Amino acid sequence: MDLNGDGFVDILSGSYSRHDPNMAGLFQVLYGTQDGTFKKPVALNGADGEPLILPGSKKNVTDMICTRPFACDLDGDGKLDIVAGNFSGSFGFFKGTGKGKFEAKATWLEAGGNKMTVPAHSDPFLIDWDGDGDLDLLSGSSSGGAFLFPNRGSKNAFEFGPMQTLLAAGAQRMPFGDKPKFGDAHIKTPQHGTRVWADDVDGDGKLDLLIGDQLTLQHLADGVDAATAAEKMVSWEKRQKKLFESMQSDDPKAQEAFQKNYEALQKERKEFVVDETTGFVWLMRQK
Amino acid sequence: MISSTILLSLAMLPQGPRVESPQPESPQFHAPVRLKAGDDYIKVEAPGYAAPCYYDVDGDGHKDLIVGQFKGGKMHVFKGTKSGTFQKGDWLKAEGDIAEVPGVW
């Protein structure tokens, strides 16, 4: 489908901030062209001619930071609407007015009278997940996992039910006391910061999930074997934990000492382990 | 419409939502499979946040994988093959240059 109805597929993206004090993330469109290429991104405007922005204020600025806008005809009037996720984890609904235009003000989607939320970084993807003819809402979250808000209304009158978990959130980051693991072979499931897509990838007639994530891997530093690195890591984590426990936040001298010790610890850590922060893409085939 | 997600870092976690889970009719899934392009796992630049989109963007009849990332607001395109695998990727271009969504750090 294409956003402006010109027959060419477009790309719609969220963005963190337009670098102004309000931290409002804009919806960016890369319009497709006849030869299959794309134009450079431009901000998507509302019916008032101003860039579409999720509702918010300085008090709740994270509501305005857009993580993902998703275009679909949620209310069944034949015009594309936009459901947009944000940093806070809620979902804004911009009603479409046709040909890629949208009302300037959004309303928050609700389920059972409560604002729909996931544990931050909402990630709307709408599809008829349960095959009842209306659009259901899938989402990842900052904590990981994949979630479903089933549409219990109809194609022309959406009404979302409470959130269901399709995939539990990922493990906690860097748990103290766990045996250190290096490389990526032990990573068997999506981790944090999940982004979802659904399609029948394997062609068996059931919708599958494609999930992107975010994680930090630990690699052995050059010349260091796994046993040595593990031993040093356990010792290092104990000392870091002790350092944090000893921090005196209201004493400038203690703060200075803390900072010095913290930096020394970080430098020491790099002697036996190297971090790599990245994200993978996973396929979860539905049975 | 391709909807590519650009993502945010760090936590400011609000109170958790009300959850109905698990449901008796909850779908069941095979174990997750980490996807590859060619012989290598698909992965994005630091600080991560891979955002997949599965769509036949080049119109050759095989769905491709477009993966957005936080760094630079860039997207990688991995062309799909007849067998369902993905070829090594390249950055998505816009007007001849690597496409960069502004406002993503």
Convert A188-218 into a string of H (helix), E (strand) and C (coil): CCCCEEEEEEEECCCCCCCCEEEEEEEEEEE
| Residue of A14, A152, A40 whose CA lies nearest to B23 | A152
Distance, in angstroms, between A216 CA and closest chain B CA? 8
Confidence label for B15 from pLDDT (cuts 50, 70 and 90): very low
Report pLDDT for A180. 84
Residue contact B33–A285, C-beta within 8 A:
yes
CA distance B76 to B62: 16
The 8-class DSSP code of residue B20 comes to E
Considering only residues B41 and B5, tell me which one the structure prediction assigns the higher pLDDT: B41
**What is the predicted pLDDT for the residue at A22?**
61
Of B9, B51, B73, nearest to A195 by CB-CB distance is: B51
CB contact under 8 A, B20 and A164: yes
> pLDDT value at position A21?
61
Residue of B6, B23, B95 with shortest CB distance to A164: B23
pLDDT at A20: 61
Other Cβ atoms closer than 10 A to A134 = 22
CB A245 within 8 A of CB A234: no
**Do the bridges between strand B2-4 and strand A11-13 make them parallel or antiparallel, or are there none, so unpaired?**
parallel
Cβ of residue A215 closer than 8 Å to a chain B Cβ: yes
Residues sharing a CB contact under 8 Å with residue A241, sequence separation 6 or more, in sequence order = A176
Residues of chain A found within 8 Å of residue B19, distances taken between Cβ atoms: 162-165
ipTM of the complex: 0.91
pLDDT for residue B11: 29
Q: How confident is the model at residue B105 (pLDDT cuts 50, 70, 90)?
A: low
pLDDT digits (tens, 9 = 90+) for B52-99: 999 999 889 999 999 999 999 999 999 999 999 999 999 999 999 999
* A28 vs B42, B52, B102: nearest CB: B102
- The answer to whether B29 contacts A167, with C-beta atoms less than 8 Å apart, is yes
Which pLDDT band holds residue B3 (cuts at 50, 70, 90)? low
Buried b (16+ CB within 10 A) or exposed e, B28-67: ebeebebbbbeeeebbbbbbbbbbbbbbebeeeebbbbbb
Q: Which helix (H) or strand (E) holds A244?
A: helix A226-245
Measured between beta carbons, the chain A residues lying within 8 angstroms of B73 are 13, 15, 28, 41
Q: Between residues 134 and 173 of chain A, which touch chain B (CB distance below 8 Å)?
A: 142-143, 161-167
Contact B1, A1 (CB under 8 A): yes
The answer to whether the CB atoms of B94 and A41 lie below 8 A apart is yes
Q: 109-128 in A: which are within 8 Å (CB) of B?
A: 114, 116-121, 123, 125
Of B30, B46, B94, the CB nearest to A39: B94
Is residue B30's pLDDT more than 80? Answer: yes
Which DSSP letter does residue A95 get? -
Contacts of B18 in chain A (CB under 8 A): 114, 162-163
Instruction: Give me the pLDDT at residue A250, please.
Output: 76
Position B43: which residue type?
K
Which residue is listed with tokens 């991995």? B78
pLDDT for residue B6: 42
Q: Which helix (H) or strand (E) holds A66?
A: strand A66-72
Whether A287 and B29 lie within 8 Å, measured CB to CB:
yes
d(CA A70, CA A85): 8
Residue of B nearest to A2 (CA): B1
Q: B8 and A67 in contact by Cβ < 8 A?
A: yes
Whole-number pLDDT of residue A255: 85
User: Is the Cβ pair B46, A184 closer than 8 Å?
Assistant: no
**pLDDT tier for residue B103 given thresholds of 50, 70 and 90:** confident
How high is the pLDDT of residue B12?
Answer: 31
Ranges of chain A whose pLDDT falls below 70 = 18-23, 171-178, 248-249
Which of A34, A271, A89 minimizes the C-alpha distance to B15? A89
Query: Is B52 in contact with A114 (Cβ distance < 8 A)?
Result: no
Q: What is the pTM of this model?
A: 0.89
Q: Which tokens in the block code for residue A176?
A: 């103290």
Peptide bond into B47 cis (omega under 30): yes
Residue B35 has pLDDT above 50, yes or no: yes
Query: How big is chain B, counted in residues?
Result: 105
pLDDT at A177: 57
Q: CB-based contacts of A256: which residues, under 8 Å, 6+ apart?
A: none
